[in-house]
Structure 1
């Protein structure tokens, strides 16, 4: 890439095949969330007819253990400490010894993608020759660079696993950039459980189109697409004692190796894909798969992914009332530089 092009803010000469890089501007950081326009927000608000709300988050200490992902740990909650004192049930007294107040402050050590969560656009990139010079470099959505924009410091000597890379930043693609958009609009529910039960099934283009047609579900550009598989109920049943086989062999998920499904995601204009399962798609992909849904959505299209959401109560209500659309409000934590975030989404019907 020429010096002139860098000065003009261009980060790439070639974009990946099938990507939308540049379509929202050379400096775009939010991808398809650009389609959450005021009109789309009003469409979502129009679905809030009854004023009934649903919390779409699991308790953040679910699923329990590290069976789901060995690098993601349950949250550790502890009392805030100052001057050697734990400020939990901490009695504050006046100079004459009378109790003025009792205080509870706490702190948490949290894997940001442990439970109900968003993947930011910095969660998955790839090595790709964006410069067109024959040398692949680490790049993320819209050409933002690993080591330049998405930065990991060198490990500190003697540090523990949870300390050694302190100071990482996802830069312009961080979850705080997503949070600033407010992430509010129209959600659309697809009930995969109704068609597959708890069968571990890869759902490709043909199956998804059949389900949308049979259930009368209409997906439009700017919608946030939710897929209920029944996996959230399995997580709750295991009660933080997850069984490895059930964790990795239960319920449906999208087939990220199905090229026609990926093209439909491109053509549909959906701004986010959300599921109650572990990864929206079933991972690992089939052997020899040229891509994954994560790469297609996060790296090529700028479509954030929501995983391990609590969708079952909302899905039941929608089915009982012959509806599939609702108002969805789901901003992540505005945590500067994070590549993912816990989320407590709210659906209103």
Structure 2
């Protein structure tokens, strides 16, 4: 059982959704009021690449993890013998999509993605995570997320294009940028680091510090989103420098039941510069999935 402040038992002994429970119908209606112009922005990076393309050298992905891959049968070059004729002069191209989400494309982490000891979030047994899927805290528990999004454009606030790889965002800086984070919000953290990819992807990444993670958890956010690959910072070995007590995934996912959304594309949103906006995300309903690719939207 975790000992530092946490949300275990707060939403009932069987809870598998964590702080997404804060997104009540009333909270969703309040969030919808943040839409002022009706402009819709995708916050997703593209899924591109196949083993027969140059993608392995151009698409950022954590080492040792396969690429998200998009195959088409129209030219017979990938997985089938060609497009299928369905009538006189009419042909159809089919797609196959093979996606591994963690560290490869825009995705949401489920609460079963990471844990400590023998327990998942809320005390669910970690033995429920098996090779055939997690029977507790899987991504299918999320449903849809509609919340007030709050942009923290950290490099913009500091007058930079992007943060350096070794930059860790402290709680005091988040407080300086926007002290008005409310219960049920989704803070969206821009580091600008994707502007430097793919050349710099494996040299380390900026991200939240443990103090920032605890600051957000104390404000009862519904989820935390960022344009880096791990919410927290990574070193050149693609590892966090913090110990387990200060690991961002354990602080947010495991202890507080706060879902994480990673590898966003935030440049258009930062250019628009909204004070707040409607954040919408719906992961695939993968039963027992430890996460899912998704296409988050910002409605301005």
TM-score normalised by the chain length of structure 2: 0.85
How far apart are residue 79 of structure 1 and its match? 4.5
Which residue in 1 is equivalent to 2:278? 327
How far apart are residue 75 of structure 1 and its match? 2.3
Which residue in 2 is equivalent to 1:3? none
Deviations 1:249-304, CA, capped at 9 Å, x for gaps: 45x31112x3xx34322320111110111111113333556321110111011101
CA contact (8 A) 1:118 1:305 kept: yes
CA contact (8 A) 1:44 1:186 kept: yes
CA contact (8 A) 1:87 1:106 kept: no
Which residue in 1 is equivalent to 2:125? 145
RMSD across aligned positions (CA)? 2.4
Which residue in 2 is equivalent to 1:253? 207
What does residue range 1-349 of structure 1 map to in structure 2 within 5 Å? 14-61=1-48, 65=57, 68-79=61-72, 86=80, 89-93=83-87, 99=88, 101-113=90-102, 114-127=104-117, 138-147=118-127, 149-152=128-131, 168-178=132-142, 180=143, 182-194=144-156, 195=158, 197-200=162-165, 201-212=167-178, 218-235=180-197, 242-243=198-199, 245-250=200-205, 252-256=206-210, 258=211, 261-283=212-234, 284-286=239-241, 288=243, 290-318=245-273, 323-349=274-300
Q: SS of the residue aligned with 1:173?
A: coil
Q: SS of the residue aligned with 1:69?
A: coil
CA contact (8 A) 2:231 2:262 kept: yes
CA–CA separation in structure 2 for the residues paired with 1:52 and 1:324: 14
Q: SS of the residue aligned with 2:141?
A: helix
How far apart are residue 88 of structure 1 and its match? 5.0
CA contact (8 A) 1:79 1:87 kept: no
- Structure 1 segments, 4+ long, off by >6 Å, are none
Q: SS of the residue aligned with 1:142?
A: helix
TM-score normalised by the chain length of structure 1: 0.74
CA–CA separation in structure 1 for the residues paired with 2:202 and 2:72: 32
How far apart are residue 100 of structure 1 and its match? 8.0
Q: SS of the residue aligned with 1:310?
A: coil
How far apart are residue 103 of structure 1 and its match? 2.2
CA–CA separation in structure 1 for the residues paired with 2:242 and 2:10: 32
CA–CA separation in structure 2 for the residues paired with 1:247 and 1:276: 15
Q: SS of the residue aligned with 2:246?
A: coil
Deviations 1:163-202, CA, capped at 9 Å, x for gaps: xxxxx20223111111x2x111111001111215432311
Q: Which runs of 5+ in 2 are unaligned?
A: 50-54, 74-78
Question: Which of structures 1 and 2 has the bigger CA Rg?
Answer: 1
CA contact (8 A) 2:60 2:201 kept: no
CA contact (8 A) 2:214 2:251 kept: no
CA–CA separation in structure 2 for the residues paired with 1:326 and 1:293: 25
How far apart are residue 227 of structure 1 and its match? 0.5
Q: How many equivalent residue pairs? A: 281
Q: Which runs of 5+ in 1 are unaligned?
A: 1-13, 94-98, 128-137, 153-167, 236-241
